[in-house]
Amino acid sequence: MYREISKLILYGSMPEDAILMKLSGIFRAFEEKTKDNATLIAEIYEQTKRILEVATDYAFDENLWHNYLTFLLITNENPFSITCEKMGARDGASVNTFVKNDYEVFRKLFNFDFAPIEEALGIQCFSILQNYTAIGKPELMYNKNVSEKVRALSKKLEGAKDTDAFFAAVTDFYRDYGVGMFGLNKAFRIRTEGEGTVIYPINNMEVVILDDLVGYELQKKKLIDNTEAFCKGLPANNVLLFGDSGTGKSTSIKAIVNQYYDKGLRMIEIYKYQFRYLSEVIAQIKNRNYRFIIYMDDLSFEEDETEYKFLKAVIEGGVETRPENILIYATSNRRHLINETWKDRRDVEMNQGIHHSDTMEEKLSLVHRFGLTIGYTKPTKKEFNHIVTELVQRAGLNLSEEELLAEANKFEMMYGGVSGRTAQQFVNYVLSGQSNLTATESDNPLYS
């Protein structure tokens, strides 16, 4: 194994503590007899445990060794894989020769014979890993999006008849999904580590689509049109979704990311206190072959907060031009984002010569930098009733509409008022069996 791994060129830059590198060292020690059997067994078990931990995180199954190698291939960000993301391989490129060399190594690792070391040490962990039956678990406990992709590609690579077929399978994956965490995940957050800023994936993003949001068709169309233009590389605007709480602003943005993920759209969520790191985040993503939405939820500023100035500089007005693969989508309950007072509207404060109109203009200039503003208002009572009945139908419940709406109207008066969020909360209340409503058909599983 170590002889093959030493031949890797582009894919050889793995950390020394990577599982594959550790196994390489163990197999070398086994062949050169530099460690006793007890030590080798202990070290093999340690790496076996690590493979099982990866498999648990991503719900791998069947051949965990192949799943692990496939996971390495699609998370290895090197000059070739990054160039191929969302673009694919280039026929005739000189680098393809080096890459095929590496893929031939991986093919040999896929078919590696563990029998000699297992027989010599009296173990069978590799045989078990290659014929593994995983325990099923809820989707929220693992990254289903990554799991499905790894296992599907692993099957293709198992069946690759030669290096060219192996090359085509991996580079087609890069073209369709990308590489590394940006290829495998839809959404991300940031955190600071030391003096640097790290982008890390949100493993289980809410599975919601725009059709789940009842009503607001005009608002959804504006968001879709802008996002489609962005994904196609056409001019598009930063977007501010403003309006009443519970009307679906945040849901719309999550849904748009789910809808256009396969078109290369990704989302990075950033909080107000992190705005000072915006430039660092942009520097990390501006040269990737994806379209990034920097998402800011519930955006607003009080009179004494100045973080909005970082945002203004990034959106428009800074020295460095905002990269064409980045847009900002924000939600807010405030139309103008920054709290303004009547004092701001008085042009000159008596005896101090302070021009408050300048202060107000400074505050309003932020919202003007969003090229597209979309308003989400609370539904009317009629619209609220429509949302309730639609959600109940989607839930598969057959209820008397008169009783349903009467109960819904009682609920909204007690909890939150008319909004899409309240409607969903009411449906959850009904589904939980806490209401006094009964199904009109006895075969409804919830009320049988």
Question: What residue spans define the domains of the chain?
Answer: 2-184, 199-376, 381-431
Residues 6+ positions from 49 with CB-CB distance below 8 Å? none
Which tens digit of pLDDT belongs to each residue from 27-45?
999 999 999 999 999 999 9
Q: What is the pLDDT of residue 71?
A: 95
**Residues 152 and 86: beta-carbon distance below 8 Å:** no
Joined tokens for residue 66: 């192949």
In this prediction, residue 82 has a pLDDT band, given cuts at 50, 70 and 90, of very high
Answer yes or no: is pLDDT of 440 > 90.
no
**Residues 316 and 369: beta-carbon distance below 8 Å:** yes
Q: What is the pLDDT of residue 2?
A: 82
Q: Which of 38, 35, 34 is nearest to 46 (CA)?
A: 38
Q: Which of 242, 189, 195, 192 is nearest to 219 (CA)?
A: 242
**Residues 190 and 274: beta-carbon distance below 8 Å:** yes
Q: What is the pLDDT of residue 106?
A: 96
In this prediction, residue 355 has a pLDDT band, given cuts at 50, 70 and 90, of very low
Answer yes or no: is pLDDT of 317 > 60.
no
Q: What is the pLDDT of residue 445?
A: 33
Answer yes or no: is pLDDT of 155 > 90.
yes
In this prediction, residue 192 has a pLDDT band, given cuts at 50, 70 and 90, of confident
- CATH code: domain 199-376 is 3.40.50.300
Residues 6+ positions from 319 with CB-CB distance below 8 Å? none
Joined tokens for residue 189: 């957050």
Which tens digit of pLDDT belongs to each residue from 234-273?
999 999 999 888 888 999 999 999 999 989 999 999 988 8
In this prediction, residue 195 has a pLDDT band, given cuts at 50, 70 and 90, of confident
Q: What is the pLDDT of residue 1?
A: 84
